[in-house]
Amino acid sequence: MALFNVHFSSAVLGMQVGVNVLLPENLPAGKPLATLYLLHGLSDDHTTWLRRTSLERYVGTMPLAVVMPNGHRSFYTDMPFEGNYFTFMAEELPRRMRAYFPLSAERRDNFVAGLSMGGYGAFKLALQRPQQYAAAASFSGALDVVRRVGVAFPSILERVFDGAEKITEEPHNLLKAVARIGADERQRSGCPLLYQTCGTEDGLYADNITFRDAALAAGLPLTYSDGPGTHEWGYWDSCIRETLRWLPLGEREEGRR
């Protein structure tokens, strides 16, 4: 794989941003690459996936680009005072990456995944912009954000979500999004494939069970797994390896025949 450290001025955020990008060494001629947008957690940045896992080795010779942006402590949300990170991730980032690298704009070729805060961000993007992503994965995600942030992180509640009232509604509340999608057959059939996993000893395990049960009850295309594990990088290293195997890249190749 080739590693690119990209820095550019974001018009949406009004500041310089950093993004790490992995590309195959041998780019397929005339075929834009499928892309995985890989999001970090609350205490991390765009470098941490590469420093704490064997991601580069796992992606190996796959026909896949991996884009790792810096989302700071934003919960990948359009914040009232500190930057529109949802808009950046959903709109500006893919547009800029496609301008710099040979990446596909087709829905079937675009995926998003993340851990903890990034798991929340990945499912938020997939549920709010289903026309953009074929699949999304969450590892130990903060998926019941009303319960998690509202109880444990009062400063984030105000700074990111602009208070207790707004966090209970969409787009912030993923459980509300799940209920809305499940109630409409067309939205349900257009939902991206979802993959969710969490360690059974993780402090976010109960939140993940809540989301799992809501998604399955709503008829969303969710693949769920769990097993022994806490909120740590050894577990997430195995998660990204399994997710790379799960991604529907085979459908991409079939569609080109």
Pairing of strands 34-39, 2-10: unpaired
Top pLDDT among 154 and 112 is at: 112
- Which band of pLDDT confidence, cut at 50, 70 and 90, is reported for residue 47? very high
Domain ranges of the chain: 2-255
Quote the CA–CA distance of 104 and 83 in Å, as a whole number: 27
Burial of 50 (0-12, 13-18, 19+ CB in 10 A): middle
Q: Is 219's pLDDT higher than 50?
A: yes
Q: Which pLDDT tens digit goes with each residue over 16-43?
A: 999 999 999 988 788 899 999 999 999 9
Quote the CA–CA distance of 186 and 196 in Å, as a whole number: 22
- pTM for this predicted structure: 0.95
Q: Is 255's pLDDT higher than 70?
A: no
Superfamily of domain 2-255: Alpha/Beta hydrolase fold, catalytic domain (3.40.50.1820)
Q: Which pLDDT tens digit goes with each residue over 148-163?
A: 887 778 889 999 999 9
Query: How much is the pLDDT for 204?
Result: 96
Query: How much is the pLDDT for 251?
Result: 60
Q: Which pLDDT tens digit goes with each residue over 69-86?
A: 999 999 999 999 889 999
Structure tokens at 251: 């459908």
Q: Is 245's pLDDT higher than 80?
A: yes
Q: Mean pLDDT in the chain?
A: 94
Query: How much is the pLDDT for 17?
Result: 97
Handedness of CA 199, 137, 119, 34 (dihedral sign): positive
